[in-house]
Structure 1
Amino acid sequence: MSIAWRLALRDLRGGLVGLRLLAVCLFLGVAAIAGVGSLSSAIVGELRSQGRVILGGDLSLSLSQRQATAAERAGIARLGRVAESASLRAMAARTDNAEAVLAELKAVDGAYPLYGRLTVVPGGRVARPGGGQVLVAPALAERLRVRVGDPVRLGDATLTVGGIIAEEPDRVGDGFVLGPAVLIGMADLARTGLIQPGSLYNWRYKIAMPAGSDATAAGVALNRAFPEAGWRVRDSSDGAPSTRRFIERIGQFLTLVGLTALLIAGIGVGNGVGAYLDGKRPGIATLKTLGASSGTIFRIYLIQVGLVAVASVALALVAGALVPSLVVALAGAALPVAPGFAIQWRPLALAAAYGLLVTFAFALAPLARARAVGAASLFRGGVERAGRPPWRVVLGVAAAIGTAAALAIGTAREPLFAGGFLGAAAVLLGLLALIGWGVRAGAARLPRSRRPLLRLAIANLHAPAAQTDRLVVALGLGLSLFATLAVIQTNLGGQIRSTVPDRAPSFFMLDIPSAEIDRFRSVVSGAAPGSTLSVVPSLRGPVVAVKGVRVTEMKNVPEGAWILRGDRGLTFAQDLPDGNRITEGKWWPRDYAGPPLVSMDAAAGKLLGLKVGDAITVSALGVEVPATIASFREIKWDSLGFNFVLIFSPETFAGAPFNYMATLDLAPEREAALNRAVVGAFPSVSLIRVKDVIEQVGTLLGQLATAVAAASAVAIAAGIAVLVGAITASRAARVYDAVLLKMLGARRVQILAVQAMEYAVLALLVSAVALAVGAGAGWYVVVKVFQLEWGPDWSVVLGTLAGGVVLILAIGLAGALPALAARPARALRDM
């Protein structure tokens, strides 16, 4: 090894020109994985480290549509200092009868906040809400066009803007919101008249426990002491679980995309090492004639490849470690929390392991070829077709790739998803490899064309030094990722632009008093004649037991069982709602008055392993209501109407106070008049514009698409690097061909035309494969995952692929220029 080390280092003094492709490809792939992993880990770590501030306490208890009883309140108070708050949606308006704006109202007591700081923008009158003074978010002040000191109307109360919120410490922990924040004092909440029997609101109790207390154990003890409370208990170890799960899943998906890009880059690694060793043939032959063994040759160049790989991985890890800081600087406002700089060792270590394993897997074959051939063969100048690698090389490659896959699956948050993704990528890689082999074999068997240029272009596809199969795999996978993204993006955009407006209501309306439903109908019809109003009764409450087992005591809750997290919308109905289809069981008769029955979403029931006849228990207004599952339904969620996971038989909640929800479809020009009329007559009613919801969802999807596009861009960049490497690897053969053609009278434009036809055939073939793969994968995501109708914008998809074709042609022709400039005498001497 000492001799191998000395010779390897001495050889590297001449520069790393031949190993630049290895360095570039490895840097791209590892940096992508390290960057995505570091960002995801940094955000999740920040969520956990600020758990107390984000949650608002060491422990949080949330009750739907009720306050804690005296006994419950006493049990909570024994744990530590308590801050009490109520949150609900409300309409905020100026006092001049201007159009009202939906806001997320939170009433807080004097102990708020227990952790963190509530701050206001300089110039405010007060530092906290209370005494008729409210704090509003900057977005609400802008939309209402109000400043500090201006009056605002909330429900029946007129309050004064005391300040603009600069920082609300527990905003992230409250989850997804539809409107900007308004903070008021708890005493002012009663003045608004917004809390009525049946109103939709959440009452929260945040607890600051003494140092050393176990918040998780305290939460378990509270559930045991009050098993029928129906509250949602969270502790500071996971202050924002929904946000954390979203970040982790997106991070996992993008890491897998990055790993796919690294596999593409691996082809470039193989090309780069192969081209480098081809350029070292004279040196290798000299060493062999001087007595160097094949093992020594193998170790020399393994050391060189290893040193370059380690250096490239190290630089990529530095770049990946800086990604969180760069994202915070460029788009910090779009993040749930802004993490500070900290090295995320685990994702960096995983990225390094992936990079080194891929390097070993793809560099092993060219290293083995250099080891196996004899000195006389290495001195030959002609281009030779490499033989099949020995079995031990194949096994080594398989072991390295298998280890990388096992590492990805073993460290994934959802191993089945990771395994499925990698399995699909492996199938696609195998398919592309088979297509590449088929193109090469088919080109060799085609009848000889009478057109010399076309005949030469086809011959280049199956020549000994041709990189056809590798290019099909690398470019095909990169373009397939981009095509899939284009299909999904245009399909979602089409749904939002066309399908949703055609069927969706204009407004959702919440908290309509049940005793005044007739007057509400009259106000709506007067403000918006000809509009379509659909009304359903509404309550809220959590699922507290399934098949007799309490949710708080379940040990293995399925990952996707969102129905068991937090409160659910509850309703009752005589008839099956539109957009629902019974898949199992039966709907109850219109005159049914027996024990409580419930119809459940089929997908949720399947996830929980439920069947018709099983029992499920919900808590409504603090009262537990058991019901028997009578049927399962398939729900058309994209209708944007009121779709309930649980619909109960009509008499289930007899005597319980409830309000109504409504959907309203009306002409856009009537929206402002309706807003003023409804808010003026019913201050407690909340109006949610569907357009605003769609814009928020569109923004979220746009951010997600940007992240996926960035990861896919790495795959495209790796594919371009592979293309450049393939051109470099076949340069000697192309120079030789160009020289012979020149000697036979070919003009430069004709030689360039041959190259253009070759790459045009290759680009069109790869684009066709990418179109088929992108359409299939996009259909699965849109129809099966998102459960939307199929309708992508093919012009955008084809435009994306056309850009890929142009790029491949441009790089291919640029790579052919050195061959055109070669001097025949010198080129023939070098051969």
Structure 2
Amino acid sequence: MNASKKLKSKAVSFIWISRMAWRDGKASWNKLLLFMASIILGIAAVVAIQSFGDNVRHNIVSQSKSLMGSDFKIDTDKPPKPELLAVIDSLGGADAKEISFPSMAAFKDNDLTKLVRVRGIEGAFPFYGSINTDPKEAAQNYQLQGTALVDATLMLQFQLKPGDSIKIGNIVLPIGGALKSVPGSSSFFSAVAPPVLIPYRFIEPSGLVQTGSRIDYDFYFKALPKTDLDALDDRLDPKLDLIDADIDTHTSTSRRLGRRYENFGKFLNLVAFIALLLGCVGIASAIHIYIKQKLPAVAILKCLGATRRQTFLIFLFQIAVMGLIGGIIGTALGLGLQYLFPLLLEGLLPLNLEINVSVKAIFIGLSLGLSMSVLFALYPLMGTLHISPLQTLRVQEEKVTRSLRSGLLVVLGIILFIFTFSYWLLERVSYSAMFVAGIVVTFFILGSIATLFMNAVKKFFPHSFGFIARQSLLNLYRPQNQTIILVLAIGVGSFLISTLYFSKDLLLQQATLEDQSNSPNIFMLDIQSEQKEAVEEGILVNKLPVIDNIPIVTMRIESLNGEKISDIKKDTTSQVNRWILNHEFRVTYRDSLIASESLVKGTLPESMDSNTPIPISVSDNFIEDSKLNLGDEITFNVQGVLINTVIGSIRTVDWSRMQLNFMIVFPESVLENAPQFRVISTKVNNEKESAQLQQQMVSSFPNISIIDIQKILDVVQDLLSKISWIINFMAFFSILTGVIVLIGAVRTSKHQRIKESVLLRTLGAKNRQIIKIMTLEYIYLGVLGSLSGILLSLIGSQLLAWGLFDAVFKPSWIPFIVIFPAIAILVIFIGMTNSIGVVKSSPLEVLRKENK
């Protein structure tokens, strides 16, 4: 019975609280709308990324077979061993097979050349998905008719058409059609080396499978229904590792591809989450001023018998409802925004996206709207708990007091929430902790800058300035000033956008050719030893320099410190990185360091002793992955010949420099007689010289592959530009959120500005003077906030350059000459737009409106 009465009492209490919240909210709906708007864009950004990410993962899983073209494949980068062929036979034989390699292609009808990826296919590949060509029948007929399918973009670029001819090595084939898409081709690598499909039977006559050639052998399989591909992978992978081969199933490939795009999605989620956090700062600011204006009403309620808990819950209920509404609107907006992403990511995703509504994203949006609005409003709401009923009789406002313990708990709750959410996104405690620390430090620095600025103005106030200048400076530290909240809103937005620009420049700087006369931009690969002099002569005839002529020998590791690689592969406790055990190393030999290297430990050998292991020099990242050190022994297998070596020195290699760098370097007088090929580099001054040189070399030496580094850098730059555009699009949400927070801060302090305006005009100030005062104040705030954010991003980007990229940071001027003035002008415009109505109206009219 008592329990029933208590339940009924709680229900009545809830109804009364909700009614009081509704009645009070109707009178203040415009202020609460601004509070709600602060979180809408942040929620929209998070929901859009979450929903789109779920769609990408779902599409990758559903289209995984079409992306690979088969259920699984076995691949190797060296001629298949009998043991590998035995494994393939045990599976019933491959349903299709492929040999692929990069090669120069010449087009006989227009004398143009291009580095392409030749894919020689035999069988009915692909089993899933399709080869998309123009005309359509070319995909079905190319093997039977002996034609080539050439990348559609390449055909458009070189003005080719079906019936034209393509020369690959020693063979000339007619072009059967334009290749639009084919399973197994990456969009990025296709931009560097476009795919060309030819029948498998033409690979051997081409003469391109030679010493040093980078050949991939793939065997495709169509599995029986209900085949457990993961179990097949677990069973075959250890066996294949021992014979230098690997198995890829469509399920493992889809997981790997999903993780690749998931990592990018996590970064975008963090950008969106920062926009949401910025909106939460607006919530705290808006609720702080809103509650301050409601304190007299709270005091009256307490005089009428309302408890502290009831008055607290009235406003908490208001905020929770508005947060939920904000979550609904933001979620709906985010679900709509995700339909723009396929357009933004055009060319970056290797699949056709079908966009659907994600239930998980909807739940996230609604829960974020409710939880974050309540969480960030708790601290200002605590001011209602300690308001005395006597406040109704006092003219002077009392200082709002709060429990220190409660305040600390709220702050800890906010930090814990941010950490939990970031951990859910990043799935690593260390990354989440760094993200939270970065957010806290950024907000703390910007808040400290604003506080120091206010204190400096107050302490060193320029009393000699004119009335307008003095009054504008006084507004920066007057009661209910906007300095801290606006500097935070403006600073975080500026910080995000500027950091993105600086980071993009840093990445592009890593992929930029050094402007030096001896920096090569053309590399010629797969040059056989007997072709060396003729290739050099061909370069010199064109009045171009021969910068490098580097010998390369391919080899694999046979044993580490006497332990065979096959035994290490079987040892599940071994910490040696797997790629070390399976990799075919390309090494060179010389007696000195080059510009991109510096010696860390040991010395380069001055002479050779045939009775001791050969001293070699290895890179520090090889040491890290192989778990070896100075003095450890490595046995290499060079085309069946075993060579015993010892690590004599360790080098640090700058892999970002555009020159050939090597993990392993042998001394001279060791590998000269080993099977090898050459890489020769030169530097051309323009695209015309590059085309002319490539045409001559491919005509004389069909086996040579030529890489135009500038073309690759153009592709990389285009890719980075697309990615940075997407990131900027997401960061724009932060700027828009900052604008809303700015509008909210200006409008919530409107009451205070009305009083000032009335007082100033009563004392004789003119409208023109008041407008100038406000304009100067917003100039101070806009300049301080945007400049602080840009300078802070400059420091952060410099730290990134030192700690992560190990590069010299050369910042872009765009944040200083575009972002800085643009945000400052935006702040002035918003501030004056929201304040001009106060100035134009008469004091009595404004006061009457305010008291309605």
Using structure 2 for the length normalisation, give the TM-score: 0.89
1:495-510 alignment, distance < 5 Å: 499=514, 504-510=519-525
Partner of 1:683: 702
Aligned match of 2:8: none
Q: Over residues 784-829 of structure 1, what are the superposed CA-to-partner deviations in whole Å (9 max), with x where a residue is unaligned? A: 4333332223365343212222222222222221221342224556
1:709-728 equivalence runs, <5 A? 709-728=728-747
The alpha carbon displacement at 1:296 in A equals 1.1
> Where do 1:52-451 residues align within 5 Å?
52-64=65-77, 66-80=78-92, 81-96=94-109, 98-122=111-135, 124-125=137-138, 127-130=140-143, 131-172=145-186, 178-239=192-253, 243-278=257-292, 280=294, 283-329=297-343, 331-346=345-360, 349-350=363-364, 352-377=366-391, 386-388=400-402, 390-447=404-461, 449-450=463-464, 451=466
How far apart are 1:628 and its partner, in Å? Answer: 4.2
Q: 1:774 to 1:118 in 2, by over 3 A?
A: same
CA contact (8 A) 1:61 1:206 kept: yes
Q: Is the 8 A contact 2:207 2:703 kept in 1?
A: yes
1:458 aligns with 2:476: no
CA–CA distance in 2 between the matches of 1:652 and 1:62? Answer: 32
Distance 1:9 1:125 in 2: 69
Residue 831 of structure 2: aligned partner: 812
Does the Cα contact within 8 Å between 1:60 and 1:206 map onto a contact in 2?
yes
The 5 A counterparts of 1:12-27 are: 12=25, 16-27=29-40
Q: Name the % identity.
A: 23
Q: Tell me the distance in 2 between the aligned counterparts of 1:542 and 1:717.
A: 56
Quote the Cα distance in structure 1 between the aligned partners of 2:489 and 2:581.
43
Moved more, 679-688 or 293-302: 293-302
Cα distance in 2, alignment partners of residues 744 and 797 from structure 1: 41
Paired residue type of 2:262: E
Describe the shift of the 1:592–1:453 C-alpha distance in structure 2 as closer, same or farther (beyond 3 A). Answer: farther
Corresponding letter in the other structure for 1:42: N
Matches within 5 A, 1:483-498: 483-491=498-506
Alpha-carbon distance change, 732 to 509 in structure 1, aligned in 2, over 3 angstroms: same
Q: How many angstroms does 1:482 deviate by?
A: 1.8
Matched, 1:646 2:661: no
Distance 2:215 2:417 in 1: 51
In the alignment, is the contact (CA less than 8 A) between 1:267 and 1:470 conserved in 2? yes
Match of 1:577? 594
* Residues in 2 aligned to 1:385 and 1:544: alpha-carbon distance in whole angstroms: 78
- Residue 764 of structure 2 is aligned with which of 719, 724, 745? 745
Distance 1:71 1:516 in 2: 35
Deviation at 1:741, TM superposition (A): 0.6
Instruction: Please give the secondary structure, in 2, of the residue aligned with 1:801.
Output: helix
Distance 1:257 1:556 in 2: 39
Mapping for residues 649-664 of structure 1, pairs under 5 Å: 649=667, 657-664=675-682
Task: Tell me, in whole angstroms, the C-alpha distance in 2 between the residues paired with 1:619 and 1:258.
Answer: 52
For residues 124 and 430 of structure 1, what CA distance do their matches in structure 2 show? 65
- Spell out, residue by residue over 1:238-269, the C-alpha distance to the aligned partner (whole angstroms, 9 max, x if none): 31677544423322222222222222111111
1:595 maps to which residue? 613
Please report how far the alpha carbon of residue 554 of structure 1 lies from its aligned counterpart in structure 2 after TM superposition.
7.9
Classify the secondary structure of the residue corresponding to 1:333: coil
Cα 1:375/1:492, change in 2 over 3 Å: same
Cα shift at 1:187: 0.2
CA RMSD of the aligned region, Å?
A: 3.3
Q: Show the counterpart of 1:469.
A: 484
SS at match of 1:334: coil
Q: Does 1:673 align with 2:692?
A: yes
C-alpha distance in 1 between matches for 2:338 and 2:619: 40
1:159 match: secondary structure: strand
1:745-766 deviations in Å (ceiling 9; x for gaps)? 1111211111122222222222
**Counterpart of 2:496?**
481
Residue by residue, what CA displacement relative to the aligned partner does 1:518-543 show, whole Å, maximum 9, x if unpaired?
222222222x2242331223356777
Structure 1 residue ranges without an equivalent (≥5): none
Asked if 2 retains the 8 angstrom alpha-carbon contact of 1:275 and 1:728, the reply is no
* 1:379–1:606 CA distance, 2 compared to 1 (3 A): farther
Q: CA deviation at 1:685?
A: 0.8
Aligned partners of 2:783 and 2:820 also within 8 Å: no
Partner SS for 1:462: coil
Structure 1 pair 250/502, CA: closer, same or farther in 2 (3 Å)? farther
Q: Residue 106 of structure 1 contacts residue 182 of structure 1 at CA under 8 Å; is this kept in 2?
A: yes
Which residue is 2:655 aligned to? 637
In 2, the alpha carbon distance for the partners of 1:257 and 1:558 equals 36
Residue identity in the other structure for 1:33: V
Q: What do the CA deviations read for 1:184-243 (whole angstroms, capped 9, x no partner)?
A: 111011221111132122112233332333334433433433553222433322316775
Q: Distance in 2 between matches of 1:616 and 1:240?
A: 36
Contact 1:490 1:796 in 2 (8 A): no
User: Number of matched residues?
Assistant: 828
Residues 46, 339 of structure 1: 8 Å contact kept? yes
- 1:652, CA displacement in angstroms? 7.1
Letter in 2 for 1:751: I
User: 2:124 aligns to what SS in structure 1?
Assistant: coil
**Shift in Å at residue 103 of structure 1?**
1.0
- Aligned equivalents of 1:283, 1:159: Cα separation in 2: 88
Q: Which runs of 5+ in 2 are unaligned?
A: 1-13
Distance 1:28 1:503 in 2: 51
Contact 1:52 1:239 in 2 (8 A): no
Deviations 1:354-383 (A, max 9, x none): 544432232112222234323453687877
Are residues 1:696 and 2:715 paired? yes
Letter in 1 for 2:51: S
Relative distance call for 1:636 and 1:729 in structure 2 (3 A) is same
CA displacement at 1:712 relative to structure 2: 1.9
Q: Give the superposition deviation at 1:168.
A: 0.6
Does the 8 Å CA contact 1:282/1:379 hold for their aligned counterparts? no
- Tell me if the contact between 2:387 and 2:400 (Cα under 8 Å) persists in the aligned partners: no
Name the residue aligned to 1:792. 811
- What corresponds to 2:629 in structure 1? 611
1:583 maps to amino acid: V
Is the contact made by 2:376 and 2:414 (CA closer than 8 Å) also made in structure 1?
no
Indicate the larger mover: 282-291 or 126-135.
282-291
Instruction: Please say if residues 42 and 324 of structure 1, whose CA atoms lie closer than 8 Å, have aligned partners that are also in contact.
Output: no
